[in-house]
Structure 1
Amino acid sequence: MRYKPEYKQQKRQELLHISGQLAKQNGFAATGVDSFMKAAGVTSGAFYSHFSSKQDLFKALIETELQHSFAHWENNPHQTLAEWVDFELDRYLTPSHLKHADQGCVLPALASEVARANDDIKYTYQQELLRGHALFTQHLGCPDKAWAMLCQLVGAILIARAIPDPSLQQQILQANKTMMRNYLHHLAQ
């Protein structure tokens, strides 16, 4: 049975979406191709009509997930620095983001796996992350502040996810929001 070209692209996007959720929840390396394909409702054989290898899937997943994060950042409706910062902090540093890694940003979920990946995957990660960094730089007015905010957001989620106590998780999120607001709002004055 022949499928239209747009069907194959649509199915690839579905596979990336479902694989992204599973990888962010369970880890990419810990999840086999069979598990990814079973979650997507296709056979393992169908995998190879979309990806040449598991590493090819990882590269495509990282690219797609970071593009998704970029779209979120790009859709911040605020123009003033204080409002822009508040929106990002309140959107990113949430209990929901902690509890639902599968629905959240790829950075705290898979950055450590990217660090162990091949250079091709690292380069894809770098290219897409630099797009986000440029957007943060545009709003914050400084490349160093953009890196600091990105790292602070990701680090806060990563550390809070490793804590079993919900009240301590909330304290970590709130402490980071307060510190970043104070620092970045002070710069805006």
Structure 2
Amino acid sequence: MRTVACDEAVKRPEKGFTRVLPSAGLQPSQLLHTRSAGIRSVAPTRCDPGRSGLEWAMGDGYPDLEIPYHQWTPATMRYSSTHKEETRRKLLAQSRAIAKRGGFATTGIDALMASIGLSGGAFYNHFASKQALFEALVSEEVEQSAEMLAGDDSSPPDHVARCLRNYLSSVHALHPENGCVLPTLGPEIARAEPAVREVVEAALKRTQKSWSSRTGDSDAAWALIAQCVGALVLARSVESERTRKEILAASRRFLAEALSIDSLR
């Protein structure tokens, strides 16, 4: 008995395959026209639906159970109704960290999918293209940063100073995967589609408006944002820990003098 993936059986029904594994995006009902080729059963899977039948068989082993192909339904694959959305969220979260650490354009789809334990073929079940993932990634990142940096009515009086201390810190410089997206992906965002830049612009304006009201100076608010992003890029560009700390400390002192924020010195 030869075991193959659905897509192979559909392409070459004349081969007379007798046991078929369901492939991603291909229902066993599509095999009905191959009945005369001798296909007797379709094996249910307990693995990820984004991987091909051959990958299941070769990589994970396979249960001995077989069922007639005409009785096979997606329910045979043991996944909750929220499985796809959960997988998408995991992919987005991992992609955000990976992109901020090593860049987005230089990271392939296979590497992104491998970070959540899936093969590259499953990617298109969740995003239409890599560009679509980038847009979702940037949108989520800048919205989250804007919410944190802008604060709200319950934020303490020294909210801006606290933000600056945390942003211009060695911890932030050393762990880009946990920080702001702009210092790492700024150049890629600058080359992105207008829709992506519009999302970033809206988030920046939200932060600028909040800091402007807190400092009483609209120009200073923009200067603060620019100083933070630029200082972090510079700090991450040097090898010496001493130089990195000097850059960050000098930036904090400069902003403290400019805005008369003693707690930032």
TM-score by length of 1: 0.87
CA distance in 1, matches of 2:214, 2:180: 20
Q: 1:169 deviation in Å?
A: 0.6
The higher relative CO (CA closer than 8 Å, separation ≥ 6) is in 1
2:121 aligned with 1:45: yes
Please name the residue that 1:127 is paired with.
Answer: 202
Q: 1:120 deviation in Å?
A: 2.3
Q: 1:39 deviation in Å?
A: 1.1
Q: Unaligned regions of 5+ residues in structure 1, if any? A: none
Please name the residue that 1:13 is paired with.
Answer: 89
Q: 1:107 deviation in Å?
A: 1.0
Q: 1:119 deviation in Å?
A: 1.7
Please name the residue that 2:5 is paired with.
Answer: none
Contact persistence 2:151–2:210 (CA under 8 A): no
> Per the alignment, do residues 127 and 10 of structure 1 end up closer, same or farther by CA in structure 2, a change over 3 Å counting?
farther
Please name the residue that 1:154 is paired with.
Answer: 229
Aligned residues: 184
Q: 1:5 deviation in Å?
A: 5.5
Please name the residue that 2:48 is paired with.
Answer: none
Q: 1:4 deviation in Å?
A: 5.3
Q: Secondary structure at the match of 2:115?
A: helix
Contact persistence 2:160–2:211 (CA under 8 A): no
Q: Secondary structure at the match of 1:117?
A: coil
2:177 aligned with 1:177: no
Please name the residue that 1:139 is paired with.
Answer: 214
Q: Unaligned regions of 5+ residues in structure 2, if any? A: 1-73
Contact persistence 1:33–1:44 (CA under 8 A): yes
RMSD: 2.0
Within the candidate set 138, 141, 145, 1:69 is matched to: 145
Letter in 1 for 2:134: F
CA distance in 1, matches of 2:122, 2:146: 29
Please name the residue that 2:42 is paired with.
Answer: none
CA distance in 1, matches of 2:108, 2:150: 33
Within the candidate set 17, 22, 26, 2:102 is matched to: 26
CA distance in 2, matches of 1:89, 1:101: 16
- Which structure's CA Rg is the greater one? 2
CA distance in 1, matches of 2:215, 2:92: 32
Q: 1:65 deviation in Å?
A: 0.8
CA distance in 2, matches of 1:138, 1:48: 44
Letter in 2 for 1:127: A
Contact persistence 1:85–1:184 (CA under 8 A): no
Letter in 1 for 2:89: Q
Please name the residue that 2:21 is paired with.
Answer: none
Q: 1:86 deviation in Å?
A: 2.2
> Per the alignment, do residues 10 and 158 of structure 1 end up closer, same or farther by CA in structure 2, a change over 3 Å counting?
same
Q: 1:16 deviation in Å?
A: 1.2
Q: Which has the higher helix share?
A: 1
Q: Secondary structure at the match of 2:126?
A: coil
Contact persistence 1:24–1:106 (CA under 8 A): yes
Please name the residue that 1:85 is paired with.
Answer: 160
TM-score by length of 2: 0.64
Contact persistence 2:168–2:248 (CA under 8 A): yes
